[in-house]
Structure 1
Amino acid sequence: MNESGAQSPFALALQWLADPSRWTGAAGIPARTAEHLGYTVLGVAVAALIAIPLGLYVGHTGRFKSLAVAAAGMARALPTLGLVTLFALLIGIGLTAPLLSFVILAVPSLLAGAYSAVEAADPATVDAARAQGMTEWQILTRVEIPLGMPLLVGGFRGATVQVVSTAMLAAYVGNGGLGRYIFQGLGSQDYPQMIAGSLLVIALALVLDLALLLIQRLTAPRGVIAA
């Protein structure tokens, strides 16, 4: 407590989280966490369908790398809140607007991870595989991708952490997720609820980051330590 006897907003946020009523029902923490995680998985999955094939092609052929790097850099510079607002005005309230924004946010990390993974393969190993008569597709799938798997997973790790950290913006245009606590708290000046929502987002981001870090290390070829 402070000098006036009032509890700090952080202490009140912990009390908010400890309230059993917050952990049940459609608006409870488990349900909101599942929604938040669903937005994250969907955004990263759609982005992967776009970025991974492009990144593998760029890394394997060496073509259009400058264009890919420039496009990824431009996408990183776009403000996610601005994109959500713009798409909501153009498309309407719903999941489509934030999902498009999450896809754009995730593409740069996935693209960079994919082409870096292929480029990381030892050229001598690739040349040896080609000399043995392996096709380009076999070289990509049996040599380059396995050797560069930690970098590929690293791309997913970066994209996932970025999206889960900003998926709260789905609530900005009427959707669910942990962002509902933040925006509801903002609207009612319920700062403990805002802090609690922020802590939940941070905790979810840390859990996902650690899980993907473990996968990244497990996929490293023997004798190689994943960064």
Structure 2
Amino acid sequence: MKYSSQTRLLVAVDCVIFGFDGTDYKLLLIQRGFAPEKEKWSLMGGFIQPNESADEAASRILEQLTGLTEVYMEQIQAFSTPERDPIERVIALPYVALIDIEKYKTQINDDFHARWYNIKSLPNMIFDHKEMVELALNKLRYKAAFHPILFELLPEKFTLPQLQAMYEGLYDTKIDKRNFTRKVLSTNLLKKENEKDKSSSKKGAFYYSLDEEHYKENFTNIHNFIPRNEIPVGNE
């Protein structure tokens, strides 16, 4: 049985995949392999199949491109303008995904001609994908102001200066080093390693790693690492 006199619509998911290379935020784009807009830059996406949910489709599509599973992903606002796709009526559900560039850069599927772009110098993208990226960034800025989701972008071992640079880069601001360090260490989310990173100075900076158990238990807790005046207005 079907609902009578109703038009069938296609529903797609698009993955807004962010990474952080230690200095800059990057966005993973692919060259579209079919018309319309063939060979132009695009988010990695695909249609939801009859036997899967939107979350399952997003996970499948992300794994096709990156080989990754169990990645932090979150759906954001649907894009449903009738004319957004020139071929058929397609409703798109964008997903924010956060991955560690260094760990997975060799697993990217070359079939899609994927490339990391600095978020400050993105190429022209198809359809409304630019608006999706802007919305995803705003969502990330709001969410990261209250929850430690940016740790998903880091390698297994990292320094506090690297962590601070990641927060400063997202909000395009400078954060007081002592206050930031105090706030981060007070969460007990990190474990101090015996090794130091001496690539930037002779004294070096100790490496830290996530206390995985404590991190998972406290993932939804509020953690303010940035000044309140830098927190964007938004909804979780």
TM exceeds 0.5? Answer: no
TM-score by length of 2: 0.29
Q: Could you say which structure has the higher strand fraction?
A: 2
Bigger Rg over Cα = 1
Could you say which structure has the greater relative contact order, defined with CA pairs below 8 angstroms and 6 or more residues apart?
A: 1
TM-score by length of 1: 0.30
